[in-house]
Amino acid sequence: MIVGKGLFANAMKSIDRGDTIFFCSGVSNSSETDKNNFLREENLLMSFKCTANKLIYFSSYFVNFDNYTKQLYYRHKKNMELLVAENFENYTIFRLPQVVGKCGNIHTLTNYLHSKISAGEKVNIFKNAKRNLLDIDDVTLFVSYILEKGLYANNIVSFAEPVSHSVSDIVDAFETILGLKIEKDFVSSLEEPYRDVVDKDVLEICKNLGIVFDETYIERLLKKYYGK
């Protein structure tokens, strides 16, 4: 059973199963500050608390880092994780970074950068800012494997690239793919650095699934969804 619509809901259709609830609904904009939107997601989640089915909840990779949980969105995701753990007998929580795929959400980093760069507009880049990108197809493959093997039952798993990329490098990759050069303005940021936390067992699973995180991953990913 799939709850919600959009990128995740469409992707999970290929692995949908009757004994599992894929919770793909909720706040998707990490800049969100309207508490009513957070409450709407919470109420929808809790409407399934009596289910006998397994719950799959998609949280944020950045909940791992204290400096991010100072922000409303990430505090909300952390709270949602607690609600899942306290109210569902069978669940797995997937902490994911920025997931890339075909979607019309203008708030995603890659859609925003693609729009700006394609239009030849100047892009402001926060100094030292890093982001972690993941292909939605890789997410689907990983989730399917975890379900089939019964791994991370009633637990949390962080699935992300082992090394995050500077936003500057992501912009450079877009320029290469689109064959464009744009003006960049590097601005100061209060963003604190973080150390990536991807378990070696997760990386071993990725290896078995043929998910290759190498120096070409970002460019291959962006070319797949944004290439000419």
Domains and CATH numbers, the chain: 2-226 (3.40.50.720)
Average pLDDT, the chain: 92
As given in the structure block, the two tokens for residue 42 are 């919470």
Distance from the Cα of residue 37 to its chain's centroid: 19
Give pLDDT tens digits for 27-36. 877 888 888 9
Mean pLDDT of 80-106: 94
Task: Please state which of the ranges 23-32, 69-78, 113-122 shows the lowest mean pLDDT.
Answer: 23-32
DSSP 8-state secondary structure symbol assigned to residue 186: E
Give pLDDT tens digits for 125-139. 888 888 999 999 999
Of the pLDDT bands very low, low, confident and very high (cuts 50, 70, 90), residue 107 is confident
- Bridge pairing between strands 20-23 and 54-60: parallel
Q: How far apart are CA 95 and CA 152, in angstroms?
A: 12
CA gyration radius for the chain? 18
pLDDT at 30: 81
Amino acid at 28: S
Helices within the chain (DSSP H only): 7-12, 35-46, 72-87, 109-118, 136-149, 167-178, 200-209, 217-226
- Residue carrying the six token digits 């699973």: 205
pLDDT above 90: percentage of residues in the chain: 78
Give pLDDT tens digits for 171-182. 999 999 999 999
